[in-house]
Amino acid sequence: MRYISTRGKAPALNFEDTMLTGLARDGGLYVPETIPTLSTDQIAAMAGQSYEDIAFTVMYPFIGDTFTEDEFRTLISNAYANFGHTARAPLVQLAPNHFLLELFHGPTLAFKDFAMQLIGQMFQKALGRKGERVTIVGATSGDTGSAAIEAFRGLDNVDVFILYPHGRVSEVQRRQMTTPTESNVHALAVDGDFDDCQARLKDMFNDFEFRDGVRLAGVNSINWGRVLAQVVYYFSAAVSLGAPAREVSFTVPTGNFGDIFAGYIAKRMGLPIRDLVVATNQNDILDRCLKGQGYHKGSVHPSISPSMDIQVSSNFERALFDAYDRDGNAVAQLMAELGQGGFDVSQGAMQALQAIYTSGRASEEETSAMITRALNTTGELLCPHSAIGVKVAEEQRGGTTPMITLATAHPAKFPDAVEAATGIRPPLPARMADLFEREERLTRVANDLEALKAHITGALNT
């Protein structure tokens, strides 16, 4: 299994190097050269299996010879052992033919744990046997950072630096990043928004001297290993509702397009998915783009669903690569135009995108109203991101195909928004109830590449 860059100019890599590298050296994102498929019999055999067994069947064809079958089974089993639910990704019913896929039972209460816990295991295994050390730098709108810190804290071969927008993450998110005591964990509060954090991260990767000097590795949602781990729950959920004999649809609260892109990979692997619905908040560049209005950046408007507050959706590049028939030059050209503010999608590529994805958005008022309505009609407390998904799904679903909406975070991760909508302050699960008593440790840094580089180099040398 080889991985190629969406901009066509970086060398093809195997799974291990793709995972350890993150971003390709030509600025592109790695994708599998060919997408393996599973037969109907293989999918049917998943019925009734554990999440871990399904995970092995879905992911192993992508791993090549990076891990043996036994090694990979062990990594999967370690990754999900500390989830708070034995089903890992349980499905609950919301309404006739509408289901909620609860992806928030991991250690930091958001779906990011599914990928990050596995990435932590895979990095440790791969680096340990090479005797190498890396510096992980990530940018976060809140959930990626806490999930990464939780996955890498205390590991021998890794230092982890997380850039988050100062003052723009929820208190629970911030405390999950700033309270771990391990010395390999560094939380950096950047004076800027999430797109600034993401841009500085890209700058660091494009500064080859720095990149090679500190052995930079990325675990943002552009890391192929993360997308791959998220393909699994599309299978587990669909099979619970009768796939492969029965089609299903999914609605996905979307920001960086990693989660929904995993759904697209599941579909390409042979899972019968009818609709893949992109749900955005008021930062709706993807909804506008998928409705044919081009991909033009605005400014980020902070919302009650901060993990979706972005304008540049990094994994969308992978979708564009396929929509442009895997023409790396065309993608590189679009990304250059994006640097100047935006681009229009060609007619052919637009048709290709619209054949796979549909979309909708929810305003702030609609999101709050949905949280209230879900509680009143189902008894479920939804986090704002999940509520956006449910609202958009309600508008899109029809016919006899079951709709599965991804619940991307636990309501207790966003207690202010949930309390404002329902009057109920959702409590943290018992295993993290002392989060507000733990001491915080963070460094405030300017939105400036040189300042960030200096801080990271300094911290590594002490």
Ligand X SMILES: *Cc1c(COP(=O)(O)O)cnc(C)c1O
Residues that bind ligand X (CB under 6 A): 110, 112, 143, 221, 253-259, 307-308, 385, 408-409
Q: Which of 112, 202, 413, 453 is catalytic?
A: 112
User: Considering beta carbons, is residue 25 or 297 the nearer one to ligand X?
Assistant: 297
Cβ at position 92, least distance to ligand X in Å: 17
* Residue whose CB is less far from ligand X, 109 or 204: 109
The answer to whether the beta carbons of residues 72 and 57 sit under 8 Å apart is no
Least distance to ligand X, CB of residue 380, Å? 15
Q: What helix, strand, coil percent values describe the chain, rounded to 5?
A: 50, 15, 35
Dihedral sign for Cα 336, 338, 340, 344, please. positive
- As measured in angstroms, the least distance from the Cβ of 289 to ligand X is 14
**Apex CA 145: angle with CA 297 and CA 9, to 5°?**
55
Query: Closer CB to ligand X, residue 238 or residue 310?
Result: 310
Nearer to ligand X, 323 or 387 (CB): 387
- Rounded CA-CA distance 105/140 in Å is 20
Contact 445, 191 (CB under 8 A): yes
Q: Cβ of residue 128: shortest distance to ligand X, in angstroms?
A: 28
Alpha-carbon distance 113 to 105, whole Å? Answer: 9
Shortest spacing between CB 281 and ligand X, in angstroms: 9
Q: Measured between alpha carbons, how far is 81 from 419 in angstroms, rounded to an integer? A: 31
Q: Do residues 180 and 100 make contact, with C-beta atoms less than 8 angstroms apart?
A: no
Closer Cβ to ligand X, 138 or 192, answer by number: 138
Q: Judge whether 112 counts as a catalytic residue.
A: yes
The backbone torsions φ and ψ at residue 390, rounded to the nearest 5 degrees and listed phi first, read -65, -40
- Residue of 236, 284, 225, 289 lying closest to 258 (CA atoms): 225
Enumerate the active-site residues: 112
